[in-house]
């Protein structure tokens, strides 16, 4: 374990972090160990975000560091070393809405907090959500929407999951724009969140409680 | 308030001429904007796409048929009698003609029932800062436009714009380049789009007249449009990912760029407001909200530039009408320091009670009604909320009733009526 690499990621020293990763690899460190350091660094970033010390710029820079280090390290990976995940989340911005900023932040925070995230992108049709839930069997479905019109698409998506007999196997969270508890009730979702940490905490409460 | 009491209420607008209503309504909003107390709380309705839903046509139909657009908008405005209104956002045609890569429109690249949306890209790369800072206009014409608009790709073949300063000698070699087919194609697209835009402006004027004929003014703030310098660099240039990397990786260049876009936007806004004779500039904010950046970052990259923009506009006799998108609860003290009664703040998801308590002396407040409530009711809850907003936010004047985002898409038409009537009933200042 390289504390220097963990610290460089945590302290937003992007150039140093990428350089250290290259040096570690060159010095014979295993790719898996380097990725473990990255994960430890990202956990610090996630903690600081949750405490209100870090904000979106730091999440984006952390993501950039992770991507650059993965690009260096992954060609040398010989085995799949992913740790067990806390749970599986199918995520997407609902039909008719192409906003992705909030969704991407939720994706990032779920990912660094140990969830396997299947991001379906933006303007995701009801059918695509149903197919993805059928194929992936997630614990959680996360519906994002910025437009007030997205309330309808959220309701339609929840109804389609119900109709497909899949509603009982998942917890559904919604977020984005002007979503509130009234929208949650209208859409038939289980919970709504105001930010990415809400999403992580809801997902954790649902999966660790063994609901799904 | 009981429903029985509501039923005895008589709409005070009944029996008034359109001319009387137009003056009354317009004065009501302007009085509130200037922190005064009008006869009652004014209400602003963004009827836009909702007017199509009322009429049973799609959002896209409004763009395809301008007569229909005006007809359904006037019908909706007649039904509710707001103190100001706004039609559907703009016209897809100029964007289509120019191959605009950053806008999406219902009926064009979105389903007929969808709404206009902005599609953010990183048209300016991190390595472009030096070119941007050394010659912004050349970067705009020869690099930015060809990337952002597919039909303007030919502009990249123009000689450096500085060569125009070579006077006659530039005619010899510079002018023939302008004759090259890709450049001609780009110029033709610009000409066509300008013609389409002129038609749209003509339609908008006629539409405003049709609304005036039933006594409903257009929204008050339609003067110039600018953005906070940080958002300007983000929205149409660097994109959110790019701008936040800049904030960490090249802060000095970002600050230098913000200074440049601040200066020319202020000049532009002052000139536009004078030309139109409308002393309001609309400034919709995006990345300054709580949650995007830290207070330290906000104090360095966002607020000083936005504050300077507002102060310079105010000095020029212009009222900035600022849409504080997102949540501004942690930043409300900055708003409170703006010159008293010289700006207007529209709010989305902020804690409105906190905004009124902290910044209510500084600026007129617009908003407060949750979209989700007007969408589905029940009527009793809408009346109760409206009453509360009139009593709290409306206290002492300087307040305009509106939804969080001043749009009503997907709302229940009857519930909108309940809300408007409740505002006219509870909003009366005695």
Distance, in Å, from the CA atom of B118 to the CA atom of B116, rounded to the nearest integer, reads 7
- Provide the residue-wise pLDDT of chain A in tens; the chain has 212 residues: 899 999 999 999 999 999 999 999 999 999 889 988 998 998 899 889 888 999 999 989 998 998 899 889 888 876 555 667 889 999 999 998 888 888 988 888 888 888 999 999 999 999 999 999 999 999 999 999 988 778 899 999 999 999 999 999 999 999 987 788 989 999 999 999 988 888 999 999 999 754 43
A104-143 residues touching B, CB cutoff 8 A:
none
pLDDT of residue A210: 47
| 8 Å CB contact between B324 and B347 | yes
Q: In the β-sheet with A87-93, what is the strand arrangement from edge to edge?
A: A115-119, A87-93, A140-144, A171-175, A191-193
Distance, in Å, from the CA atom of A31 to the CA atom of A53, rounded to the nearest integer, reads 30
Flag whether B209 is in a domain. no
Flag whether B305 is in a domain. yes
pLDDT of residue A211: 42
| Residue A44 CB neighbour total at 10 angstroms | 17
Task: Tell whether B113 is within 8 A of chain A (Cβ).
Answer: yes
Q: How many domains does chain B have?
A: 1
Contact B348 A178 (CB under 8 A): yes
Q: Which of A140-154, B92-106, B272-286 has the lowest average pLDDT?
A: A140-154
Q: In a mutagenesis test of the B interface, which of A48, A52, A57 is the best target, namely the one with the most B β-carbons within 10 Å?
A: A57
Flag whether B409 is in a domain. yes
Helix, strand, coil percentages, rounded to 5, for chain A: 60, 15, 30
Flag whether B91 is in a domain. no
pLDDT at B288 over 60: yes
Report the CATH number that the domain containing residue B318 is assigned in CATH.
3.20.20.210
Nearest chain B CA: its distance from A97 CA (Å):
8
Over the stretch B154-201, which tens digit does the pLDDT of each residue have?
A: 999 999 999 999 999 998 988 888 999 999 999 999 999 999 999 999
Q: What's the gap between Cα A71 and its chain centre?
A: 20
Flag whether B142 is in a domain. no
Flag whether B176 is in a domain. no
Query: Which domains are delineated in chain A?
Result: 3-76 (1.10.1240.10), 87-208 (3.40.50.280)
Contacts of A178 in chain B (CB under 8 A): 348-349, 370-372, 404-405
pLDDT of residue A212: 39
Q: What is the mean pLDDT of residues B405-421?
A: 92
More confident site: B147 or B405? B147
Nearest chain A CA: its distance from B303 CA (Å):
16
Cα distances (angstroms) measured from residue B23 to each of A206, B128, B208, B209: 57, 50, 14, 14
Q: What's the gap between Cα A87 and its chain centre?
A: 11
| 8 Å CB contact between B322 and B285 | yes
Flag whether B334 is in a domain. yes
Domain interval for residue B33:
3-46+219-426
Flag whether B177 is in a domain. no
Per-residue 3-state assignment (H helix, E strand, C coil) for B145-209: HHHHEHHHHHHHHCCCHHHHHHCHHHHHHHHHHHCCHHHHHHHHHHHHHHHHHHHHHHHHHHHHH
Over the stretch B323-334, which tens digit does the pLDDT of each residue have?
A: 999 999 999 999
pLDDT of residue A83: 65
Report the predicted TM-score, pTM, of the whole model to 2 decimal places. Answer: 0.90
Contact B405 A148 (CB under 8 A): yes
pLDDT of residue A79: 59
Find, among A148, A146, A203, the residue nearest to A173 by Cα.
A203
| 8 Å CB contact between B266 and B227 | no
Q: What is the mean pLDDT of residues B346-373?
A: 95
């Amino acid at each position: 374990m390289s504390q220097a690499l963990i610290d460089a990621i945590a302290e937003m020293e992007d150039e140093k972090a990428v350089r250290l990763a290259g040096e570690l690899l060159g010095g014979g460190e295993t790719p898996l160990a380097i990725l473990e350091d990255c994960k430890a660094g990202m956990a610090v970033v996630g903690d600081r975000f949750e405490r209100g010390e870090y904000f979106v710029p730091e999440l984006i820079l952390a993501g950039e560091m992770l991507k650059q280090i993965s690009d260096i390290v992954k060609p040398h990976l010989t085995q799949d070393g992913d740790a067990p995940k806390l749970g599986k989340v199918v995520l997407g911005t609902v039909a008719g809405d192409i906003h992705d900023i909030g969704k991407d932040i939720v994706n990032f925070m779920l990912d660094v907090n140990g969830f396997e995230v299947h991001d379906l992108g933006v303007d995701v049709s009801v059918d695509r959500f149903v197919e993805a839930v059928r194929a992936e069997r997630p614990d959680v479905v996360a519906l994002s929407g910025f437009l007030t019109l997205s309330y309808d698409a959220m309701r339609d998506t929840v109804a389609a999951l119900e109709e497909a007999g899949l509603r009982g196997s998942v917890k559904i969270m919604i977020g984005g724009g002007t979503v509130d508890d009234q929208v949650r009730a209208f859409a038939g979702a289980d919970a709504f969140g105001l930010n990415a940490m809400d999403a992580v905490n809801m997902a954790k409460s649902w999966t660790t409680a063994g609901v799904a | 308030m009981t429903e029985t009491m509501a039923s005895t209420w008589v709409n005070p607008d009944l029996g008034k001429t359109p001319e009387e209503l137009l003056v009354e309504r317009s004065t009501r909003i302007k009085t509130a904007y200037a922190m005064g107390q009008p006869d009652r709380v004014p209400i602003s309705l963004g009827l836009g796409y909702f007017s199509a839903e009322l009429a049973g046509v799609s959002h896209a139909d409004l763009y395809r048929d301008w007569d229909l657009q005006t007809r359904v908008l006037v019908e909706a405005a007649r039904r509710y009698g707001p103190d100001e209104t706004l039609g559907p956002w703009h016209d897809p045609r100029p964007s289509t003609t120019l191959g605009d890569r950053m806008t999406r429109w219902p009926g064009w690249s979105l389903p007929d029932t969808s709404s206009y949306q902005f599609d953010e890209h990183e048209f300016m790369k991190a390595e472009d800062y030096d070119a941007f800072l050394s010659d912004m206009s050349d970067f705009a014409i020869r690099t930015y436009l060809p990337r952002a608009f597919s039909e303007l790709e030919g502009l990249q073949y123009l000689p450096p714009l500085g060569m125009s300063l070579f006077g006659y000698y530039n005619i010899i070699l510079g002018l023939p380049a302008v004759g090259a087919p890709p450049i001609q194609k780009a110029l033709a697209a610009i000409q066509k789009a300008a013609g389409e835009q002129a038609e749209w402006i003509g339609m908008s004027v006629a539409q405003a007249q049709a609304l005036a004929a039933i006594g409903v003014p257009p929204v008050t703030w339609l003067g110039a449009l600018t953005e906070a310098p940080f958002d300007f660099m983000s929205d149409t240039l660097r994109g959110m990912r790019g701008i936040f990397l800049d904030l960490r990786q090249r802060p000095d260049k970002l600050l230098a760029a913000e200074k440049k876009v601040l200066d020319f936007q202020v000049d532009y806004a002052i000139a536009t407001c004078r030309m139109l004779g409308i002393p309001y500039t609309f400034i919709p904010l995006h990345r300054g909200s709580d949650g995007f950046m830290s207070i330290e970052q906000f104090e360095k990259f966002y607020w000083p530039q936005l504050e300077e923009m507002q102060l310079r506009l105010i000095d020029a006799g212009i009222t900035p009408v600022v849409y504080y998108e997102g949540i501004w609860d942690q930043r409300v003290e900055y708003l409170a320091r703006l010159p008293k009664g010289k700006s207007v703040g529209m709010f989305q998801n902020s804690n409105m009670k906190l905004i009124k308590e902290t910044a209510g002396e500084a600026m007129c407040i617009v908003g407060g009604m949750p979209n989700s409530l007007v969408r589905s009711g029940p009527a009793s809850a809408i009346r109760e909320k409206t009453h509360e907003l009139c009593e709290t936010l409306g206290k002492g004047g300087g307040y305009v009733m509106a939804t969080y985002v001043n749009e009503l898409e997907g709302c229940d038409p009857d519930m909108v009526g309940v809300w408007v009537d409740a505002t006219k009933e509870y909003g009366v200042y005695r």
